[in-house]
C-alpha cells in the first residue's frame, strides 16, 4: 500500500569502495533546510566532485552508498550565507514532488544521519569525544566503550472507521483547519497495537478494535518511523484531551476538511479510504 522501496535503486554503505568516483550527489543541510540547485523552475540535488567547488566547506560529511550506481554523501553546512547564484536552501518537506522520489527518500535518510552525527560527537555516558566505528554507522567511546547507533523513534498513526466515516482530528500544532489521523510515539514495553489503543483513548477517548497494519514510512522530522494502521470504532464518545487535540469528528468521503500533505503516510491512508469508498 505504501510507496515502492528505495532499495530497488539504492545500495546503502558506510565506507566508499573507491575515492576515484568523480561527481557525486550532495545532500547538504543547514539546520532543517537542504541545498538544491534551481534552474528554470526545476530543482535538483547538487551533483559535483566536492562542495568546495562552490566555496562551501562542510562541517562534517557522511557517505551514504550508491543510488543507481552514483555515490551519495550527506553534509552538514554551518551557514546559509554566501551560497552561489542558482542555489537555494529549501525545507525538505517542500521538496516533495519537486525532486525525484528516490532522491527525496534518500534526502530524508541523509537528514537523519546528519542530526545523529551532530548530536553524538561526545559520549552520552561519560562525555568523552566519540570515534567513528569502522565499517558501521556507529560511534564508539574510547574511554568507557559505549557504542551508539542512529536512533529511530517508532510511532503509530491510525485511521479509525465508524461505518463509512473516518475519524479526523485537529491538533494544536496544526495550522488552519488541517485535520489528520491520531498518532503518537511508542512507549517502552508496549506493542504497536497497544500503542494504537492507548493513543486513541488518551487523545479522543474512544475504544477501537480490529486493528490492522497498513504500511510504514520513515519520517525524518527528525528521526521517526511511522507505522500506519486502520481500526474500527468499538465504543465511547469523542472527548478530546485539550492538550494535543483541539477538536475531532467523524467525516465522510464527500465532506472532508483540510488534509495533510501527500508526502505523509496519513494522507496515503486517507486517500486509500476515499478511493475505497467511491
Ordered structural domains, the chain, with CATH:
6-119 (3.90.79.20), 153-277 (3.90.79.10)
DSSP tally for the chain: helices H, then strands E: 3, 17
80-106 CB burial, b ≥16 within 10 A, e <16: eeebeeebebbebeebeeebeebbbbb
| pLDDT average per 10 residues of sequence, the chain (278 residues) | 72 84 91 95 94 92 94 96 92 91 93 96 98 96 97 97 97 95 97 98 98 95 94 98 96 95 94 85
pLDDT attached to residue 22 = 81
Q: What is the pLDDT, as a whole number, of residue 5? A: 74
The pTM score is 0.90
Structural contact between residues 205 and 238, judged by C-beta atoms closer than 8 angstroms = yes
Output the pLDDT for position 3.
Answer: 58
Q: How far apart are CA 13 and CA 77, in angstroms?
A: 22
203 Cβ neighbours under 8 A, 6+ residues apart = 169, 182, 184, 240, 241, 244, 245, 248
Query: What pLDDT was estimated at residue 20?
Result: 60
Q: How many other CB atoms are found less than 10 A from the CB of residue 270?
A: 23
Amino acid at each position: 500500500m505504501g510507496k515502492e522501496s528505495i532499495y530497488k535503486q539504492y545500495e546503502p554503505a558506510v565506507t566508499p569502495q573507491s575515492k576515484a568516483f568523480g561527481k557525486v550527489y550532495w545532500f547538504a543541510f543547514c539546520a532543517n533546510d537542504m541545498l538544491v540547485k534551481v534552474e528554470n523552475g526545476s530543482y535538483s540535488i547538487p551533483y559535483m566532485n566536492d562542495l568546495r567547488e562552490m566555496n562551501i566547506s562542510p562541517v562534517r560529511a557522511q557517505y551514504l552508498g550508491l543510488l543507481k550506481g552514483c555515490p551519495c554523501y550527506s553534509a552538514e553546512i554551518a551557514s546559509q550565507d554566501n551560497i552561489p547564484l542558482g542555489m537555494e536552501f529549501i525545507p525538505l518537506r517542500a521538496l516533495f514532488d519537486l525532486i525525484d522520489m528516490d532522491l527525496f527518500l534518500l534526502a530524508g535518510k541523509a537528514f537523519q544521519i546528519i542530526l545523529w552525527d551532530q548530536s553524538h560527537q561526545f559520549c552520552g555516558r561519560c562525555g568523552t569525544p566519540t570515534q567513528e566505528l569502522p565499517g558501521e554507522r556507529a560511534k564508539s567511546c574510547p574511554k568507557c566503550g559505549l557504542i551508539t547507533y542512529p536512533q529511530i523513534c517508532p510511532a503509530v498513526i491510525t485511521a479509525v472507521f465508524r461505518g463509512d466515516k473516518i475519524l479526523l482530528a485537529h491538533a494544536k500544532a496544526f495550522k488552519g483547519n488541517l485535520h489528520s489521523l491520531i498518532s503518537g510515539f511508542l512507549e517502552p514495553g508496549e506493542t504497536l497495537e497497544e500503542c494504537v489503543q492507548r493513543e486513541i483513548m488518551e487523545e479522543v477517548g474512544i475504544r477501537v478494535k480490529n486493528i490492522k497494519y497498513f504500511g510504514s514510512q520513515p519520517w525524518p522530522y527528525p528521526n521517526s518511523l511511522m507505522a500506519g494502521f486502520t481500526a474500527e470504532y468499538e465504543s465511547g464518545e469523542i472527548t478530546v484531551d485539550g492538550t494535543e487535540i483541539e477538536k475531532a469528528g467523524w467525516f465522510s468521503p464527500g465532506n472532508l476538511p483540510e488534509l495533510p500533505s501527500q508526502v505523509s503516510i496519513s494522507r496515503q491512508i486517507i486517500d486509500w479510504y476515499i478511493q475505497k469508498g467511491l
